[in-house]
């Protein structure tokens, strides 16, 4: 492989990029736009849940339970209703997600020591949000029941009863439980995969459609030099996108960066190299720009978004799909980013993920080179 020929190929691609400033601006601005849109719009936080109260008891005991819901940041009390029909109408109009129904004999059953039930009516059309809201509501009811039981025990014995077991919650790596701290590192992987595939998926196909590929084939340029030359030009654009996305994530979204910057840079560059080579491979297979663009989006965005663990837990997927996710490079890169950003761990913990990304990058590069060589012959 001749470095001079590779550098000449890279210079040709850089001049082509520079002569098309609109495409260059889109390539640099699109990651920021995607990060801002997804970062603000895509949130897994469930709070300010619209809630209705049906208090059939109207006693101080029922008002004490209602006060717990009003004091929680997870629930927003819309108002009080008098019947189930009002709850049903509000849920049908998507005005209410959950309703708390306190029965008429609530306080009397408490005083007599009978079993007391509180009904929770939830809109289950969004199962994920409904399950989270149900967990919050059950926790409030359980805490209130525990407080009532402790008060009753103290009243019977005449002195406070100490807690035998006290659970203390400590959340590591994301103490505020902000979904943005979880989403932004994953978005970096998804954005880089999409941008990289889009940047290079049209290169070889464009050469064939413009009729310039024959001129390249008539030169001593080898397939490996062609791939490296084209890839290195777009690697510079991808590296700028990487820096921009990281800066925006840390400064604007305040995502903690606890790991080593050098390790983060090396991991990003390995993934970027593989993603760019993947785009060139698609371009060499497709032959036309339209097909290359379609294949690039289908093989970059969908796997990176759906099968990488970015949004959906891989453990909850069917076993065949779980096995297929091992072929998705974004899965390993997202694990790397979360480990570096949130946990601050290094190669001693994330060595397997780095090894998988390295193997992927090498295999894709060799495959792209082989296909181009076969096309030349």
Report whether pLDDT(196) > 70.
Answer: yes
Domain-embedded: residue 170: no
Range scoring the smallest mean pLDDT among 32-46, 119-133, 207-221, 333-347? 207-221
Q: Are residues 57 and 30 in the same domain?
A: no
User: What CATH number is given to the structural domain containing 123?
Assistant: 3.40.1710.10
- Output the pLDDT for position 360: 93
Q: Are residues 364 and 301 in the same domain?
A: yes
- pLDDT tens for residues 40-74? 777 666 778 899 999 888 888 888 888 989 888 88
Domain tally, the chain: 2
- pTM for this model (two decimals): 0.76
- Output the pLDDT for position 353: 92
Q: Are residues 199 and 291 in the same domain?
A: yes
Whether the CB-CB separation of 23 and 198 falls below 8 Å is answered with: no
Domain boundary among 105, 125, 157: 157
- Output the pLDDT for position 270: 93
Say how far apart CA 371 and CA 163 lie, in whole Å.
Answer: 70
What range does the domain containing 74 cover?
49-157
Domain boundary among 157, 191, 210: 157
Residue 116: CB partners within 8 Å, gap ≥ 6? 103, 106, 109, 110, 145
The CB density around residue 105, as the number of other CB atoms within 10 Å, is 15
Residue 2: CB partners within 8 Å, gap ≥ 6? 220, 222, 225
DSSP 3-state of 78: strand
Say how far apart CA 122 and CA 287 lie, in whole Å.
Answer: 53
Say how far apart CA 257 and CA 264 lie, in whole Å.
Answer: 10
- pLDDT tens for residues 298-347? 888 888 888 888 877 888 888 899 899 998 999 999 999 989 998 888 88
Q: Are residues 187 and 152 in the same domain?
A: no
Q: Are residues 207 and 111 in the same domain?
A: no
Q: How far is CA 62 from CA 145, 192, 196, in A?
A: 12, 53, 58
Say how far apart CA 166 and CA 315 lie, in whole Å.
Answer: 31
Domain-embedded: residue 289: yes
Token pair 């290079």 in the structure block, residue: 200
- pLDDT tens for residues 137-163? 888 888 887 777 766 665 655 555 554
Domain-embedded: residue 166: no
Q: Are residues 233 and 361 in the same domain?
A: yes
Domain-embedded: residue 169: no
48 burial type by CB count under 10 A (0-12 exposed, 13-18 middle, 19+ buried): exposed
Which position has the higher pLDDT, 221 or 336?
336
Q: Are residues 152 and 210 in the same domain?
A: no
- pLDDT tens for residues 242-266? 888 899 888 988 888 888 999 999 9
Q: Are residues 329 and 185 in the same domain?
A: yes
Q: Are residues 124 and 257 in the same domain?
A: no
Mean pLDDT across the chain, nearest whole number?
81
């Amino acid at each position: 492989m001749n470095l001079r020929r590779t550098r000449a190929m890279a210079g040709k691609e850089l001049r082509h990029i520079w002569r098309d400033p609109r495409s260059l601006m889109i390539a640099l601005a699109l990651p920021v736009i995607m990060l801002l849109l997804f970062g603000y719009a895509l949130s897994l936080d469930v709070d300010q849940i619209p809630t209705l109260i049906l208090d059939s008891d109207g006693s101080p005991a029922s008002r004490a339970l209602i006060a717990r819901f009003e004091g929680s940041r997870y629930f927003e009390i819309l108002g009080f209703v008098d019947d189930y029909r009002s709850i049903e109408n509000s849920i049908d109009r998507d005005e209410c997600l959950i309703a708390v129904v306190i029965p008429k004999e609530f306080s009397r059953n408490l005083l007599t020591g009978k079993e007391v039930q509180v009904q929770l009516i939830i809109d289950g059309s969004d199962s994920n949000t409904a399950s989270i809201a149900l967990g919050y509501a059950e926790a409030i009811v359980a805490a209130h029941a525990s407080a009532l039981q402790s008060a009753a025990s103290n009243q019977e014995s005449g002195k406070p009863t100490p807690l035998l077991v006290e659970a203390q919650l400590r959340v590591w790596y994301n103490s505020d439980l902000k979904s943005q701290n979880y989403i932004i590192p994953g978005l970096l992987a998804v954005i880089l995969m999409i941008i990289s595939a889009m940047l290079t998926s049209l290169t070889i196909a464009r050469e064939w459609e413009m009729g310039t590929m024959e001129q390249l084939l008539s030169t001593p340029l080898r397939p490996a030099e062609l791939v490296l030359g084209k890839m290195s030009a777009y690697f510079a654009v991808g590296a700028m996108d990487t820096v921009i996305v990281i800066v925006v994530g840390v400064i604007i979204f305040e995502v903690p960066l606890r790991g080593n910057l050098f390790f983060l840079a090396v991991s990003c560059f390995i993934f970027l190299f593989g993603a760019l080579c993947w785009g060139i491979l698609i371009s060499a297979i497709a032959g036309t720009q339209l097909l290359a663009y379609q294949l690039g989006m289908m093989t970059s965005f969908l796997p990176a978004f759906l099968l990488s663990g970015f949004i959906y837990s891989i453990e909850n997927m069917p076993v065949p799909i779980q096995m297929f996710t091992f072929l998705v490079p974004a899965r390993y890169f997202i694990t790397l980013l979360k480990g570096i950003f949130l946990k601050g761990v290094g190669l001693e913990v994330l060595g397997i993920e780095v090894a998988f990304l390295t193997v992927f990058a090498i295999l894709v590069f060799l495959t792209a080179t082989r296909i181009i060589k076969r096309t030349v012959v």
